Chain A
Amino acid sequence: MSELRWNPLLEEWVITATHRQERTFHPPADFCPLCPTRSGAFETEIPEPEYDLAVFENRFPSLQLPPPKAAVRGSALLPVQPAAGLCEVVVYSSRHDGTLAQESTAQIAKLVEVWCDRFRELGQRPEIKYVLIFENKGEAIGVTLSHPHGQIYAFPFIPPIPNREIRAMRRALRQTHRCLLCSVLAAERRAATRVVYENAGFTAVVPFYARYPYEVHLLARRHVGDLLQLDAAERRQLADALKRVTAGYDRLFGFSFPYMMLLHQQPTDGRRHPYFHFHIEFLPPYRTASKLKYLAGCESGAGTYINDSLAEEKAAEMRIAIERCIVTA
């Protein structure tokens, strides 16, 4: 059973997906469903002896096409909609032990190409209004499979956070005739104190308004709305920046650093969103080497984050960590 239930107080959809309770939970390495299928062994999600990168429909999807029957009927006050959409798993490599940070820049460049392909194909579907590419990394985030992978959710609506960004960027363009994020990027580069890495295509910053101590935003230097508007050189530069930031995270405290990585792209609802500026957000839950930041009362109840650190200081730590990384092509 799965459906969308409308929350009239927050004016947002909630996805119910009861079948996800059954999903695979920390299987032993010998039974990893994302590994290649070995001769004589059980058949994994990928029935091939070897692969480079793979994408498949999630076995426990929150959104499906066609959508399943809803468990309840809605009303004018409490509407229910079908949970129509698609959920995919993107497997970064056939190697079980690894992380995005441990992949070569060349392998990450392949991943960027796969993201482009999936964004294009899913975004073309008339049912799909927004494509969210993301990665949850580490048990602290709730990851249930350790094999390096990310996910894609193709939504039948524009989710609240991208929607707020869209409204802000659209308003800024009307009022100032400038792209909001281009202005932020220019200000961050002028200040330089929060910039942690930069190449010709992307600038990585702990943003002025960071909610998490080690939050990093990867901003496209050129005004583009999505991955597909990047040229080939920029896509390679994106891979380089992803490698540097993720390797820097691991270098920070000497352990594989958990995070949520979220690609913020323009919607695929068929409308024009020329004000939207493509960026990637990293939200890591650690605030020190041994302490997690929880989304507690103020964050969950008020929607207001308390960041008990200074972005400028955390950016300095990240900058040093990135500089100390040895990056392989």
Chain B
Amino acid sequence: MLPGEPIPDPGWRGLWYFRYASMKTRRIRKSDGRYLILYEFPAPKTGPTTDVPQAGVAAPGAATAKVAAKPRPKR
């Protein structure tokens, strides 16, 4: 954000973000009642990867605009 530029109000976005598309989770309840979550990812693709600096431009439809008004869930 540039000096003087108004700060966007992101609101509460705890519910939404663009998740790694292929990430899978497997939840296991252990014998003593505690939970275990196993995260599984697809095999890495070939080609340029993460440490190539990319333009800091949000991907189309990125989380920033969509969820500003999302209320906090009540349970």
CA distance A114 to B39 in the complex (A): 8
Contact B1 A177 (CB under 8 A): no
CA distance A173 to B9 in the complex (A): 12
Contact A225 B10 (CB under 8 A): yes
Contact B7 A179 (CB under 8 A): yes
Which residues from A are CB-within-8-Å of B44? 106
Given contacts A228-B16, A231-B63, A232-B18, contact A183 B56 (CB under 8 A): no
Contact B63 A228 (CB under 8 A): yes
Contact A53 B13 (CB under 8 A): no
B14: which of A113, A230, A268 is its contact (CB, 8 Å)? A268
B36: which of A54, A183, A221 is its contact (CB, 8 Å)? A54
Kindly provide the distance from the CB of B73 to the nearest chain A CB, expressed in whole angstroms.
Answer: 6
CA distance A228 to B14 in the complex (A): 7
Kindly provide the distance from the CB of B40 to the nearest chain A CB, expressed in whole angstroms.
Answer: 6
What is the chain A residue whose CB lies nearest that of B74? A126
Kindly provide the distance from the CB of B41 to the nearest chain A CB, expressed in whole angstroms.
Answer: 5
Contact B36 A56 (CB under 8 A): yes
Which residues from A are CB-within-8-Å of B12? 270-272
Which residues from B are CB-within-8-Å of A200? 53-56
CA distance A315 to B7 in the complex (A): 30
What is the chain B residue whose CB lies nearest that of A114? B39
Which residues from A are CB-within-8-Å of B34? 56-57, 59
Chain B, 5-49, contact with A by CB distance < 8 Å: what is the 0/1 string?
011111111111111100101001010101111111100100011
Contact A177 B4 (CB under 8 A): yes
Contact A47 B28 (CB under 8 A): yes
Kindly provide the distance from the CB of B9 to the nearest chain A CB, expressed in whole angstroms.
Answer: 4
Kindly provide the distance from the CB of B1 to the nearest chain A CB, expressed in whole angstroms.
Answer: 4
A229: which of B10, B19, B52, B57 is its contact (CB, 8 Å)? B10
What is the chain A residue whose CB lies nearest that of B24? A52
What is the chain B residue whose CB lies nearest that of A48? B38
A136 beta carbon closer than 8 Å to chain B = no
Which residues from B are CB-within-8-Å of A59? 32, 34
A274: which of B8, B17, B23, B48 is its contact (CB, 8 Å)? B8
Contact B11 A232 (CB under 8 A): no
A215 beta carbon closer than 8 Å to chain B = no
Contact A178 B53 (CB under 8 A): no
For the complex of A and B, list the 7 residue pairs with the smallest distance between their C-beta atoms, beginning with the closest. A329-B49, A57-B34, A240-B51, A228-B17, A270-B72, A199-B53, A236-B50
- A56-B34, A233-B56 are known; give 4 further A-B pairs, CB within 8 A: A52-B39, A224-B10, A228-B63, A240-B52
